[in-house]
Amino acid sequence: MRRALLFCLFLLSNALSGQNDQYTISGYIRDASNGEELIGVNVVITELRTGSTTNNYGYYSISLPPGKYTISIQYIGYETIEREITLSQDLKLNWELKENSTQLDEVVVSSEKIDQNVSSVEMSVAQLDVKDVKKMPALLGEVDIIRTLTLLPGISTVGEASNGFNVRGGNSDQNLILLDEAPIYNSSHLFGFFSIFNADAVKDVKLYKGGIPSRYGGRLSSVVDVRQKDGNNREFSGTGGLGLLSSRLLLEGPLVKEKSAFMIAGRRSYADIFLGLSPDETISQNTLFFYDFNAKLNYILGENDRLYLSGYYGRDIFEINDLFGFNWGNATTSLRWNHLFSDKLFSNFTAIFSDYTYELGTPDDDAFNFRLQSTIQDYHFKNQYTWYANSKSEFNFGFEGIYYRFKPGTISGTVELQLQEEYALEPSLYFSHEYKVSPLLTIQYGIRYSSFYNLGKQTKNIYQNQDLPEINEVVESKEFASGEIIKAYNGLEGLEPRIAVNYRLDDEKSIKLSYNRTRQYIHLISNTTAPTPVDLYRPAGMHIKPATVNQIAGGYFQNFSDNKYELSLETYYKDFQNIVDYRNGAELIFNETIETEILAGIGRSYGLEVYLRKQQGKLTGWLSYTLSKTELKVDGVNPNLAINAGEWYPANYDKRHDISLVLNYQLTKKWDIGMNFTYQTGRPITPPEGKFQIEDYVVPIYRDRNSYRIPDYHRLDLSANYTPPKVEGKKFYSSWSIGIYNVYARRNAYSIYFEQQPNANGATTTNLNTQAVQLSIFGTIIPSVTWNFNF
Amino acid sequence: MMTKHFKYLALLFIAIGMQSCTDVVDLDVDAAPPELVVDGVISNDRELYVKLSQTSGFFDNNAFEKISGARVSIFENGQEMSVLDESPNEAGTYLSNFKGSIGNEYRIRVEISTNAPDQIIGTWWSTADTMKRVPNIDSMGQMSLDRNTNPQAFFPGEYAVMYFGDFEGKGDYYRLIRSLNDSVFAQENFFITDENLDGFYFGNGLFPPVSIYGPFEDPEAGEEPDSLGVRLESVTEAFFDYMQVLNTQVQTGSPFDAPPALVLGNIHKENEEGTYAFGYFRVVAGSNAGLRYEP
pLDDT digits (tens, 9 = 90+) for B95-147: 999 999 999 999 999 999 988 999 999 999 999 999 999 999 999 999 998 87
- Please give, rounded to a whole number of angstroms, the shortest distance from the CA of B222 to a CA of chain A: 5
Among B164, B75, B87, B163, CA closest to B127: B75
Confidence of residue A105 (pLDDT cuts 50, 70, 90): very low
Q: Which residues of A touch B265 (CB under 8 A)?
A: 694
Q: Tell whether pTM > 0.80.
A: yes
Question: How close A716 comes to chain B (CA, Å)?
Answer: 17
Check if A528 contacts B (Cβ < 8 Å). yes
- Among A733, A55, A723, residue whose Cα is nearest residue A385: A55
**Pairwise CB contact (< 8 Å): B250 & A534:** no
pLDDT above 90: residue A47: no
Chain B environment of A690 (Cβ under 8 Å): 31-32, 34-35, 55-58
Average pLDDT value for residue range A135-155: 91
Q: Where are the domains of chain A?
A: 22-114, 226-790
CA A705/CA A702 separation, integer angstroms: 7
Task: Provide CB contacts within 8 A for B191, sequence distance 6+.
Answer: B173, B174, B175, B176, B235, B240, B243
pLDDT digits (tens, 9 = 90+) for A707-734: 999 999 999 999 999 999 888 888 899 9
* Cα separation of the two ends of chain A: 59
Bridge-based pairing of strands A95-97 and A23-31 is parallel
Q: Are strands A619-634 and A565-582 parallel, antiparallel or unpaired?
A: unpaired
What is the end-to-end Cα distance of chain B in Å, rounded? 32
Alpha carbon of B79: minimum distance to chain A alpha carbons (Å)? 27
In this structure, are residues A557 and A512 in contact, taking their beta carbons and an 8 Å threshold? yes
Q: How far apart are CA B214 and CA B145, in angstroms?
A: 9
Residue B3: which of A528, A640, A769 has the nearest Cβ? A528
Span of A608-617, A754-763, B12-21, B45-54 with lowest mean pLDDT: B12-21
- Which residues 6+ apart lie within 8 Å of A128 measured at CB? A145, A148, A149, A205, A206
- Residue A312 to residue A291: CA distance in whole angstroms: 11
Q: What are phi and psi of B15, to 5 degrees?
A: -65, -45
How much is the mean pLDDT over chain A?
88
Global ipTM: 0.93
B138-174: string of b/e by CB count within 10 Å (b at 16+)?
Answer: bebebbebebebebbbeeeebbbbbbbebeeeeebbb
Interface check for B143 against chain A (CB to CB < 8 A): the answer is no
pLDDT at residue number A277: 63
Residue B197: half-sphere exposure toward Cβ, Cα within 13 Å: 15
Cβ A371 vs Cβ A413: under 8 Å: yes
Residue A1, pLDDT above cutoff 80: no
b/e burial code for range B229-253 (CB count within 10 A of at least 16 → b): bbbbbbbbbbbeebbbbbbbbbebb
Q: Is the CB of A587 inside 8 Å of chain B's CB atoms?
A: yes
Q: How far is CA A423 from the centre of its chain?
A: 25
| pLDDT of B7 above 70 | no
CA A475 centroid distance within chain: 42
> How far is the CA of A134 from the CAs of A167, A455, A664, A721, in angstroms?
23, 45, 11, 10
Q: Are B256 and B6 in contact (CB under 8 A)?
A: yes
Report the C-alpha gap between A775 and A426 in whole angstroms: 42
Q: Strand pairing of A287-302 and A305-320?
A: antiparallel
Closest CA to A350 of A381, A372, A319: A381
Give the residue among A558, A561, A676 at the shortest CA–CA distance from A622: A676
pLDDT at residue number A267 = 95
CA distance A262 to A241: 20
Q: ∠ CA(A290), CA(A296), CA(A302), 5° rounding? A: 175
Whole-number pLDDT of residue B31: 83
C-alpha dist (Å) from residue A716 to A663, A777, B218: 11, 15, 47
Which residue in the set B1, B21, B221 is minimally distant from A776, CB to CB?
B21
Burial of A688 (0-12, 13-18, 19+ CB in 10 A): buried
pLDDT > 90? residue A454: yes
Task: Give domain A22-114's CATH superfamily.
Answer: Carboxypeptidase-like, regulatory domain (2.60.40.1120)
Identify the closest residue of chain A to B31 by CA–CA distance: A689
Tell me the C-alpha distance between A538 and A213, whole Å. 25
Top-ranked range on mean pLDDT: pick from A542-546, A588-592, B125-129, B246-250: B125-129
Amino acid at A42: N
- Which pLDDT does position A561 carry in this prediction? 86
- Residues 624-643 (A) with a CB less than 8 A from some CB of B: 639-641, 643
pLDDT of residue A449: 97
How far is the alpha carbon of A73 from chain B, nearest alpha carbon, in Å? 47
The C-alpha atoms of residue A87 and residue A772 are separated, in whole angstroms, by 74
Query: Among residues of chain A, what percentage have pLDDT more than 70?
Result: 91
Which residues are paired to A572 by β-bridges? Answer: A553, A607
Q: What is the CATH number of domain A226-790?
A: 2.40.170.20
Amino acid at B220: E
pLDDT band at A603 (very low <50, low <70, confident <90, very high): very high
Q: What pLDDT sits at residue A31?
A: 92
Rounded-to-10 torsion of CA A454, A457, A463, A465: 10
Cα-based distances in Å from A153 to A100, A620, A624, A628? 28, 17, 5, 10
Q: Which residues pair with B73 in a beta bridge?
A: B83, B109
Grouping H, G, I as helix, E, B as strand and the rest as coil, residue A133 is helix
Confidence tier at A362 by pLDDT (50, 70, 90)? confident
Q: How confident is the model at residue A270 (pLDDT cuts 50, 70, 90)?
A: confident
pLDDT of residue B44: 95
- Distance from B223 to chain A by nearest Cα, in Å? 7
Cα angle B221, B224, B227 (rounded to 5 degrees) comes to 90
DSSP annotation string for B107-173: EEEEEE-SSS-TTT-EEEEEPPEEPPP-----EEEEEEE-TTSSS--SS-EEEEEEEEEPPSSS--E
Whether the pLDDT of residue A109 is over 80: the answer is no
- In the DSSP assignment, the letter for residue A579 is E
Question: From CA A454, how far away is CA A486, in angstroms rounded?
Answer: 5
* Alpha carbon distance A210, A513 (integer Å): 10
Find, among A161, A296, A145, the residue nearest to A224 by Cα.
Answer: A145
Closest CA to B43 of B108, B99, B113: B99
The span from the CA of A728 to the CA of A282, in Å, is: 53
Q: What pLDDT does residue B203 have?
A: 85
Are A708 and B29 within 8 A, CB to CB? yes
Contacts of B246 in chain A (CB under 8 A): 694, 697, 699
d(CA A49, CA A366): 72
**How far is Cα A222 from Cα A155, in angstroms, rounded to an integer?**
10
Q: Is A491 on the interface with B (CB under 8 A)?
A: no
- Exposure of A661 in the CB half-sphere (CA atoms within 13 A): 9
Amino acid identity at A197: F
Give the model's pLDDT for residue B6: 56
Backbone angles phi, psi at A5, to 5 degrees: -65, -45
Least confident of A264-278, A412-426, A502-516, A702-716: A264-278
Q: Which of residues 82-111 of B touch A (CB under 8 A)?
A: none
Alpha-carbon distance of A104 to A672, in angstroms, equals 11
Contacts of A188 (CB under 8 A, 6+ apart): A146, A163, A164, A194, A195, A196, A533
Q: Which residues of A touch B187 (CB under 8 A)?
A: 695-697, 766
Chain B residues closer than 8 Å to A751 by CB: 253-255
| Share above pLDDT 90 across residues of chain B, in percent, rounded to a whole number | 51
pLDDT at A191: 78
- B241 contact A CB<8A: yes
Query: Quick one: average pLDDT of A88-110?
Result: 70
Assess B263–A contact: CB distance below 8 Å, yes or no.
yes
The pLDDT, as a whole number, for residue B222 is: 61
Positive or negative: CA dihedral A456, A459, A462, A468: negative
Residue among A254, A204, A178 nearest A58 (CA): A204
**Does the pLDDT at position A398 exceed 90?**
yes
Average pLDDT over residues A140-155: 91
Nearest CA in chain A to B12: A283
Q: Is A694 on the interface with B (CB under 8 A)?
A: yes
2-41 in B: which are within 8 Å (CB) of A? Answer: 2-3, 5-7, 9-10, 12-14, 16-27, 29-32, 34-35, 37, 39
- Contact A240/A787 with Cβ under 8 angstroms? no
What mean pLDDT do residues A647-664 have? 94
Distance CA A201, CA A30 (A): 17
User: Closest chain B residue to A589 measured between Cα atoms?
Assistant: B2
B262 and A775 within 8 Å at the Cβ level: the answer is no
Taking only residues 269 to 288 of chain B, the set having a beta carbon closer than 8 angstroms to any beta carbon of chain A reads: 274, 276, 278-280
A762, B280: Cβ pair inside 8 Å? no
Computed over its alpha carbons, how large is the radius of gyration of chain B? 21
C-alpha A418, offset from chain centre: 32
d(CA A511, CA A503): 5
